[in-house]
Amino acid sequence: MSRINGLFAALQAQGKKALIPYITAGDPQKEATVPMMHALVEAGADLIELGVPFSDPMADGPTIQLACERALAHNTSLKDVLAMVAEFRTTNATTPVVLMGYLNPVERMGYDEFAAAAVVAGVDGVLLVDLPPEEAVDVEDSFKSRELDMIYLIAPTTTDERIETIGKAGSGYVYYVSLKGVTGSKALDVDDVARNLDRIRKHVSIPVGVGFGISNGATAGAVAKVCDGVIVGSAIVNRIAANADNAELARQQVSELIAEMRTAMDQA
Amino acid sequence: MSTTPDNAHAAFMEANLPDARGHFGIHGGRFVSETLTAALDELQATYLKLRDDADFQKAFDSDLAHYVGRPSPLYYAERLSNHCGGARIFLKREDLNHTGAHKVNNTIGQALLAKFMGKKKIIAETGAGQHGVASATVAARFGLECKVFMGSTDVERQKLNVYRMKLLGAEVESVTSGTKTLKDAMNEAMRHWVTNVDDTFYIIGTAAGPHPYPMLVRDFQSIIGRELKEQSLEQLGRQPDALVACVGGGSNAIGMFYPYIKNPEVALYGVEAGGLGLDGDDHAAPLNKGRPGVLHGNRTYLMEDENGQIMGTHSISAGLDYPGVGPEHSWLKDVGRANYVAATDDEAIDAFHKLTRLEGIMPALESSHAVAYGMKLAKTMSSDKVIVVNLSGRGDKDIHTIAALDGVTA
């Protein structure tokens, strides 16, 4: 069983939901990323989405745009990101890691070369924001033969018919984008998410994570009641940005947020 | 998805591209985040229906005639031709359109689509400001709310166009992310669209972006090539030997080329921005020096570094200062139907002065790239041959740039 499937099965057995933080690799420095990943796990994270910085992050709000700019200021490349995962794996063999980003850096490396290197590094899944299943046929061939999970997005605007297609194409989990907007948006409507989750579950059998607009324990706890995983990105990246010159303080503040969310979700 | 050179030509001759999912060979397609898929599906369905709708076509043709002022003339540049020696050079005068460039052909078409779809708000991205002005213009014409995204660097260097858009009632949003130019304006427009997708229509200014944009922009701009075919028969008794157009995103070029694609006796030349020269990195010539990648919703030739990050570009002309290109041009390059060449900043400036002095026509700096290559090409061809250069825009907006180069503070 893949690390991602194993995680969701184990959590389900315990009646718990997955807490999934996102950070941009190389933000603010390359050497800060692996210690931050360990801190996230220690504070209660179940799975890590590690952002691959891109020059043109079309689906991201200002917070993650700036994180990409900070990471690219010292040329954090896809190869660097894979090296970070490999380093993380030297002391953590259990926490799944999903790379999240845009297609072009992967396309430039080559699908096969990337997939092979990702598996060696210890990557479990990949989420490419600008790659819908219709365009992913070649990529999926490279990934599936190596048991890399392909995580797709579902949006409030996605039709039932497409939800079914995405549910079949994806593996590991699907990522439900809770609102029409970019990352770091403010208002998530829990009732609306609940209604859409009902709709999604009619067509999708794998776990459903929810992201966009979750920035504190209260929202995380409320959303956890209706989904399988809670994804939080910009709220963490904001704390990293605020402490760009003090990695220890950044880890401390991020850990506090993760712990708050963990507690709220486990009580939910 | 893969296309070998051998079957590419055969596929090309019988293809009616793009395919149902917007592909031109390996190029094009729809690479967007999931939220936009439904909006693009709706746009595609609406467009395919209206494309053959008599009322829609009548409204489009009527505005092209009475609002834009079409057909644009086909003008024999006799003194320029004599100066070069060689082929006769004709100019397709898109600079005489309302708002001063070919851009308005497309904004009229897309604003009509917005109206038929019941959307009251339009957004647009702009580099030099020409597409922004053309969008603000049609917004005023159709009573739509208009917001234009423009890189903060471009806002600074194109102040007059910013003011023009404001006079027309548009709101100009200065974009400070990334390189603060056209590509970042397009990112920001996409982000705004994702957030306001229910009531907002995104008017993309060039024949690029996610399907169906490259197709519909091409179709709206094809009026250029269709008119040229008729005018050539009337004025020359035959079709030209070569067509020359500048290529940034490539909407004026594809509009001119498309009706000629299956006339192989007519040579097609797309002219990219050579900037300071193709040997360095200071240019905007992805078809000459780039490689296929994915940006802004489509696969196409891109300027990117070895890690797949998009590179900053350089051109004297803000309208060509873009790291990608429309996917149909990438396809025409791959199958060898069109030739993609470049003109440097200096060659474009020289052509600007030549056309101004010899014909009394001031071309936009974008179009000056096409004029520069047209002059070069004419010298290699005999006097019985005919070249048509697409004069895609007029140079009023660039007077400050030219004046600054001459040390004049205008």
For every residue of A37-71, DSSP letters joined together read: HHHHHHHT-SSEEEE---S--TT--HHHHHHHHHH
- What pLDDT is attached to residue A186? 76
- What pLDDT is attached to residue B2? 43
Mean pLDDT by 10 residues, chain A (268 residues): 95 97 98 98 98 96 95 98 98 98 98 97 98 94 92 96 96 94 83 94 97 94 97 96 97 98 93
Q: What is the mean pLDDT of residues B142-157?
A: 94
The yes-or-no verdict on residue B7 having pLDDT over 70 is no
A129 touches chain B (CB under 8 A): yes
Instruction: Express each pLDDT in B358-382 by its tens digit.
Output: 999 999 999 999 999 999 999 999 9
Two tokens, residue B285:
């010539």
Domain ranges of chain B: 5-63+103-212, 69-101+218-405
Instruction: Express each pLDDT in B34-84 by its tens digit.
Output: 999 999 999 999 999 999 999 999 999 999 999 999 999 999 999 999 999
Interface size A-B, in CB pairs within 8 Å, comes to 119
Chosen from A135, A185, A200 to mutate, greatest number of chain B CBs within 10 A: A135
A3-267 fold: TIM Barrel (3.20.20)
Residues contacting B95, CB < 8 A, separation 6+: B101, B361, B363, B364, B367, B391, B392, B393, B394, B395
CB contact under 8 Å between A180 and B197, yes or no, is yes
- Please report residues of B whose CB lies closer than 8 A to that of A134: 21, 30
What is the value of pTM for the model shown?
Answer: 0.95
List A residues 145-164 in contact with B (Cβ-Cβ < 8 A).
152-159, 162
CB contact under 8 Å between B194 and A102, yes or no, is no
* Nearest residue to B371 via CA among B356, B352, B386, B358: B352
SS3 B94: helix
Neighbouring C-alpha atoms within 13 Å toward the C-beta of B210: 25
The yes-or-no verdict on residue B6 having pLDDT over 90 is no
- What pLDDT is attached to residue B3? 45
Instruction: Express each pLDDT in B207-234 by its tens digit.
Output: 999 999 999 999 999 999 999 999 999 9
B69-101+218-405 fold: Rossmann fold (3.40.50)
CB contact under 8 Å between A58 and B195, yes or no, is no
- What pLDDT is attached to residue B12? 56
DSSP B86: S
Same fold, B5-63+103-212 and B69-101+218-405: yes
- Nearest-CA distance A11 → chain B (Å): 28
- Which of the residues A49, A124, A149, A228 is marked catalytic? A49
Q: Which CATH class is domain B5-63+103-212?
A: alpha beta
- Please report residues of B whose CB lies closer than 8 A to that of A180: 35, 194-198
- Nearest-CA distance B192 → chain A (Å): 8
* Nearest residue to B28 via CA among B17, B14, B41: B17
Q: Determine the residue of chain B that is closest to A152 in CA distance.
A: B34
Q: Distances in Å between the alpha carbon of B133 and those of A192, B214, B312, B317?
A: 39, 20, 24, 16
Q: What is the ipTM of this complex?
A: 0.95
Q: Determine the residue of chain B that is closest to A128 in CA distance.
A: B33
- Please report residues of A whose CB lies closer than 8 A to that of B30: 132, 134-135
SS3 B268: strand
Q: Is the dihedral of CA B2, B8, B11, B12 positive or negative?
A: positive
A182 touches chain B (CB under 8 A): yes
